[in-house]
Amino acid sequence: MSTARIQPTASALSSTIKHHLRPLRNGVVFTTSPRHLTRHGTKRALSVSMSASASAPPNPFEICVKASVTVPNKLGDCPFCQRVLLTLEEKHLPYDLKLVDLVNKPEWFLKINADGKVPVIKLDEKWVADSDIITQALEDKYPEPPLGIPPEKASIGSKIFSAFIGFLKSKDPNDGTEQALLNELSSFNDHLKDNGPFINGKDVSAVDLSLGPKLYHLEIALGHYKNWSVPDSLPYVQSYTKTIFSRDSFIKTRALPEDVIAGWRPKVLG
């Protein structure tokens, strides 16, 4: 038996949420109890301490997410899955993870979602896909703490991810893809300078939880494949990423760097 400790989310009021693992073919289910990870053969209990939400559901949400391709029984590198997990964490809502092997998708998962995509979460006894739909549904049903954002700020930073992918895939250093990314990051830097530290001001919001995982992929993938990093001329972007990446919710839900690298390898190699 091996035991590992997981840093719980800090809170003034906390409750213990116990998670138990049910072995699944090509899938793993994690559930929470406070502070430790134990293992007996194929059984595991993943434990964290989560704040009690005033309107918390009676049972943990079941959520299907990508499994790691580098380490067994670990969360994979999907930024859209992390976005949903960040929302659950920031709202202090309990959840059970079902880790899905997306290379060999199991039958039980395809019955849940014939498209075979993650994340998928069980809401009101129905399986719901798409991180946009899921996060909005969680915000509507569990509005505290609020993560909503004014419509005029909802698209801030939205073009960074596509610009990052274009630059990452580029084989031509003179094709303008690096400058396109720098332009998007520069616009974001200007917004943070006038409105930060987060996109909507002093408090984290849903748009930060969407952009944060994408910037994490940007940092790791471009650092690995192009030896590139956000330049010092964009200090507000640098500060923003450090702040987002250091949140307890982010640390608990981030992918392993080696999974991010492996996940982008096919696009880089073409």
- Please list the active-site residues: 78
Q: Is the peptide bond before 34 cis (omega within 30 degrees of 0)?
A: no
Describe the strand order of the beta sheet including 61-66 as a list of residue ranges: 23-24, 27-30, 95-100, 61-66, 120-123, 126-129
Q: Measured between alpha carbons, how far is 97 from 66 in angstroms, rounded to an integer?
A: 10
Residue 249: C-alpha distances to residues 31, 83, 92 (Å): 16, 10, 10
Q: How far is CA 96 from the centre of its chain?
A: 15
